[in-house]
Amino acid sequence: MPPPKVSGLHRRSLEPIDTPSRLLLGPGPSNAHPTVLEALSRTPIGHLDPLYVELMGEVQELLRYAWQTDNRLTIPMSGTGSAAMEATLANTIEPGDTVLVAIKGYFGLRLADMAGRYRANVVTIEKPWGEAFSLAELEEAITAHKPTILAMVHAETSTGVCQPMDGIGDLCRQHDCLLLLDTVTSLGGVPLFLDAWKVDLAYSCSQKGLSCPPGLGPFTMGPRAEAKMMGREGKVPNWYLDVTLLNQYWGSDRVYHHTAPVNMNFGMREALRLLAEEGLEAAWARHRGNAERLWSGLEALGLELHVPEPLRLPTLTTVRIPEGVDGKAFSLHLLNKHGIEVGGGLGALAGKVWRIGLMGYNSQPNNVDRLLNLFETELPAFGNGAPTTAAA
């Protein structure tokens, strides 16, 4: 046998990992809590070890608390938020089902794309990026299209809008339609009452309001969605995300499905424990308080926020880039000179806004003050100086 080839290996790849310490104030991931990082670095145990099985139950119980749901089928999908998003659709859509997607930003578009891949008859309604749907608009679309599922994003990370949920669950029940909600940027940071809101399917991520790194996608399915899944004709067309199989591992049977990312679940358990220790109401109030501190500070500097106050998300703020300012150069400066990440605009808002995240562990007044100070002292060097806002 010839010796293994090493010619393709760069010298840098052979050096130990050396990542900088960053303050992640963008759309996610957010920084992980130090005790979550400790939990992640524990020695793995077997994914069928009785102690791990106990931990799985604790993660499920804590997730139910975080979401305010009693759903039996509440599990962290192995994968990021998009895996959990796909799981909600893959398990419930049968070819030809009408899925109504209410799109008001980038992640609504992703829901529509995914639903189409499962051969749904996808119908969309759209709002400009920065607005939310009214109940009347949703009712009109549900009446017209009679969907099996209404899918929408609660906290639109691309725009910073929080969708008001009053009455939507009742509307869906009246029309015998499942309500599917993306809570990726709300879980842990924004009030969420899945059962009271009559949400049938929801998903989230580990890397934002939960103060954990990316890698798990919390998923939950209520009894109406479960009935739809159990009544389907063929198999769920996605083996990895098939909840009928996954439930044999997460439910009482503990049958092997795939090797669980045990350390990610250690981290998730610690992240959820921290949230429960703080208490949901206190965590929501903290996110709100720090967001308000950011909003008033930015406005005091003459900057304009993209979303009207009543619809603003406490976890993600979109700030209009003033006319004449090179927004990208400023965010690169924050990253390279100060180690702070702030996001740029996506899709329809590309080049128009910065996206500032205050999520989970990072929602702290000292982070807000540090960032405001940099906007005040260093932004003027990146344009005309005067923060006159560009038309959106």
Ligand X SMILES: Cc1ncc(COP(=O)(O)O)c(C=O)c1O
Task: Summarize as ranges the residues that interact with ligand X (CB under 6 A).
Answer: 27-28, 80-82, 85, 107, 153, 157, 182, 184-185, 205, 214
Nearest to ligand X of 167, 214 (CB atom)? 214
Q: What minimum distance in Å lies between the beta carbon of 82 and ligand X?
A: 3
Sign of CA dihedral 182, 184, 186, 191: positive
Closest listed residue to residue 32, CA positions, set 19, 13, 17? 19
Tell me the C-alpha to C-alpha distance, in Å, between residue 10 and each of 13, 16, 77, 218, 383.
Answer: 5, 13, 35, 37, 39
Residue 38 has φ and ψ, to the nearest 5°, of: -65, -45
Residue among 214 and 261 whose Cβ is closer to ligand X = 214
The tokens for 351 are: 């080049």
Min dist. Cβ of residue 386 to ligand X (A) = 32
Based on CB atoms, which residue is closest to ligand X, 156 or 226? 156
Residue with smaller CB distance to ligand X, 88 or 382: 88
Closest listed residue to residue 69, CA positions, set 206, 177, 225: 225
Task: For the CB of residue 104, give the shortest distance to ligand X in the complex, in Å.
Answer: 11
Give me the least distance between CB of 88 and ligand X, in Å please: 11
CB of 203 to ligand X, least distance (A): 8
84 close to 221: Cβ distance less than 8 angstroms? no
Nearer to ligand X by C-beta: 343 or 387?
Answer: 343
Nearer to ligand X, 127 or 375 (CB): 127
In the bound state with ligand X, the residue whose beta carbon lies nearer, of 27 and 76, is 27
Sheet order of strands, 216-221 included: 73-78, 216-221, 201-203, 178-182, 149-153, 98-103, 121-126
Locate 94 and state its tokens: 């049968």
Neighbour tally for 103: CB within 10 Å: 21
Residue 128 one-letter amino acid: P
Q: Which residue number is nearest to ligand X in terms of Cβ? A: 81
The nearest distance, CB 101 to ligand X, in angstroms, is 13
> Given phi > 0 = left and psi -120 to 50 = alpha, else beta, which region is 235?
beta
CB of 181 to ligand X, least distance (A): 10
